[in-house]
Structure 1
């Protein structure tokens, strides 16, 4: 039986591409115009993610893995996977929330407003969506279309890359291509909520808000380990949807604290 790429896989991938690449930019532009926020605040948030996650944390984790190859657990070792998820979640919280605190402390300390905190979070969460999902889905969608049309105009390395991707893409349920985009939309409000907490910690000289941001970020990342369990992906997305609603409620409520 010859298997072909589902049209739904292409549609869902296109939706994810829009949600993770186009939507964050449109949202940032709309917010800056509506609330009079300088776009440099958005860029500061974006650069915070790039520097503290992509330039510092991920390369350090890669170096650590090279030095200690047994650090990454085997898929069947559930206890070790949970411990590793704890470690990754903790380092993500420390680097990203620490980065937010440093940037606002030394670059934006004269601008501790709700609008700037939200704009900063939009830049941070938006850049994460664009760089971790959006850019990848440009090529992902291209590959799906080429496979669907049974075309391979590439030569050399790209030819083998497309051929190797084909089997994996054919085995992936179509709905999975939508989940990455939904996840990014669920997570961006959380980044805004964390940014508000960090700015409040500086504006009020009260570190409890920073600790709440650390704890929130840690708890947001930790359930990724659930995917190793039956129905874990369902539980994960219900969890993220709950975090999405709570983040939106906090973003609105936080206005009165400034």
Structure 2
């Protein structure tokens, strides 16, 4: 099932996809349907316990082709960094490109949503701890990059720079997360294509790795990295990150003076 979180008619609602519409799960409105174009899409995560993300973990250089693109040797252990949940925005929202930067690019990523508390999980049991999957666009601003192996805060933790959604797809509905096609278009032109099969460290390995030294909680996110093919996105770019069976995440790049508009969306 595809789950969404939306703002509609002055309130926030949980919803599911039914016959090309959003069916509300709100008590008193349960079963009512609204159109995709009639709502504001929010990150498909519950902002309150027990499913609020405490940790947002991301991977650098976790695709072999992306490592080749950067002329790097694939890492021997996961190159991970933490992100702030405050950087998350929803489907069809706007992302601010800071004034004066020369290279800001998207990163289409499979995002793993943890479903139950995970500590010292073995790889063979890892998928038992996954609630589902969504699409993430982990924007990076190369102008601020100090080290490809450990992106700094200004690169990866900016407000509006991590769109996710539109759906949270149940794990049971994704037969093999390691065989999914990824694609990004910018203004309708395909600029990135890849497959999760090219990950250096697969989903199960990442869950085993992170849970070996920290506790993962329901709602926590793991952003699993991006394939090669990232390009600079100027103001006005319409960026669509799509993952097979998970969804197509739409996003628009706006300028700094439009920050208030971006955050309002």
Higher percent of residues as strand = 2
Pair member with larger Rg: 1
| TMscore range, shorter length | under 0.3
TM-score, structure 1 normalization: 0.25
Higher percent of residues as helix = 1
TM-score, structure 2 normalization: 0.25
- 1 or 2 for the larger relative contact order (CA 8 Å, sep ≥6)? 1
